Amino acid sequence: DIQMTQSPSSLSASVGDRVTITCRASQGITNYLAWYQQKPGKVPKLLIYAASTLQSGVPSRFSGSGSGTDFTLTISSLQPEDVATYYCQKYNSAPPTFGPGTKVDIK
């Protein structure tokens, strides 16, 4: 099975900072990559699919890029409401696999 890794595992940044999270697949997955946001005590929310397509209703400060094995999620200007754990997930084939998550908080 394809394994997903994320870095960093956690980060602390100031409001307005540009934040980048990296996700790596152990094998190529073309662009079958989604990103989710899970706020504390809440349900996961789809942010991005197909590596770079923003889900409807998601603020434009979120963006995704990459293909093959290396992907990034960028928050262009961190806001207090972005405090959450972010998960990448590959879905090119079963089993769909999530990364371990990156916890983002405000400095």
Partner 1 sequence: EVQLLESGGGLVQPGGSLRLSCAASGFTFSSYAMSWVRQAPGKGLEWVSAISGTGGNTYYADSVNGRFTISRDNSKNTLYLQMNSLRAEDTAVYYCAKDPHNNGWSYYYFDYWGQGTLVTVSS
- Chain residues binding partner 1 by CB under 8 A are 34, 36, 38, 43-46, 49, 55, 87, 89, 91, 93-101
Q: Which amino acid, residue 79?
A: Q
Which positions ≥6 away from 93 have C-beta within 8 Å?
A: none
**Nearest approach, Cβ of residue 35 and partner 1 (Å):** 10
What residues are paired with 84 via a beta bridge? 104
Q: Which is nearer to partner 1, 65 or 92 (CB)?
A: 92
Residue 20, both tokens: 């980048």
Q: Which is nearer to partner 1, 45 or 76 (CB)?
A: 45
C-alpha span between 52 and 62 (Å, rounded) = 10
**Nearest approach, Cβ of residue 14 and partner 1 (Å):** 26
Q: Which is nearer to partner 1, 78 or 88 (CB)?
A: 88
**Nearest approach, Cβ of residue 38 and partner 1 (Å):** 8
Omega prior to 100 cis, within 30 of 0? no
